[in-house]
């Protein structure tokens, strides 16, 4: 009775270990990534009102809850902007590139998170 359970647990542990190894790092949720990296400019709720969005800045961070603004972007635009920064989509360099910080999978998960925030689809 114990043996099959043990080997099942061992297989489960091994499986978890392998899947963690495959992604190269422990997976973070899109929400945690957003709060950690994006909220400092885009705000905790994504309204473009993070603490770095001071009056003196030449541009205001994108309001991720705006379906009107976010609807103008394709999923590819969002992924490019996160990966290569604002200049990749002819926007401000104040949006930094995260391509060497986040995995492709994490960037796609953030794109999905933004689509939930704006409740909109891409162009």
Partner 1 sequence: MTSFRRLLSAGLLSAAFLWSLPSHAGVAEGRKAFEANKCSGCHQVEGPAREKTIKDQMAKKGPELWYAGSKFKDGFLAKWLANPQPIRPFAYNSITERNRGDHPKLSQKDSSDVAAYLMGLKSREVKPLGLPAVDNPRGRIIFVKKQSCYGCHSARVRGKMAGGLTGPTFAGASERLNPDWVFAYLKNPKVFKPVKMMPVYAGILKESELKELASYVSSLN
Position 57 contacts partner 1 (CB under 8 A): yes
Position 104 contacts partner 1 (CB under 8 A): no
For the chain, the first-to-last Cα distance in angstroms comes to: 57
Position 100 contacts partner 1 (CB under 8 A): yes
- In angstroms, the Cα distances linking 37 to 11, 83, 97 are 35, 13, 11
List CB contacts of 71: < 8 A, sequence separation 6 or more. Answer: 118, 120, 121, 122, 123
Report the run of H or E that residue 105 belongs to, with start and end. helix 104-118
- Per CB under 8 A, the list member of 7, 23, 52, 74 interacting with partner 1 is 52
Which range in 8-16, 20-28, 69-77, 114-122 contacts partner 1 by CB under 8 A?
A: 20-28
CB of 118 to partner 1, least distance (A): 21
Alpha carbon distance 18, 11 (integer Å): 10
Closest to partner 1 by CB, 61 vs 120, is 61
Residues at the site binding partner 1, with contacts judged by CB under 8 A: 25-26, 28, 32-33, 36-37, 39-41, 44, 50-52, 54, 56-57, 85, 92-94, 96-101
């Amino acid at each position: 009775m114990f043996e099959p359970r043990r080997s099942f647990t061992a297989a489960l542990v091994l499986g978890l270990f392998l899947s963690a190894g495959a992604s190269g790092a422990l997976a973070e949720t899109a929400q945690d990534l957003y709060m950690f990296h994006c909220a400092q400019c885009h705000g905790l709720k994504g309204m473009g009102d993070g603490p770095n969005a001071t009056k003196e800045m030449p541009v205001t961070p994108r309001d991720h809850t705006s379906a009107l603004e976010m609807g103008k972007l394709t999923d590819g635009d969002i992924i490019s902007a996160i990966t290569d920064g604002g200049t990749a989509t002819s926007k401000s360099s104040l949006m930094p590139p995260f391509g060497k910080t986040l995995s492709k999978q994490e960037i796609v998960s953030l794109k999905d998170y933004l689509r939930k925030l704006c409740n909109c689809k891409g162009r």
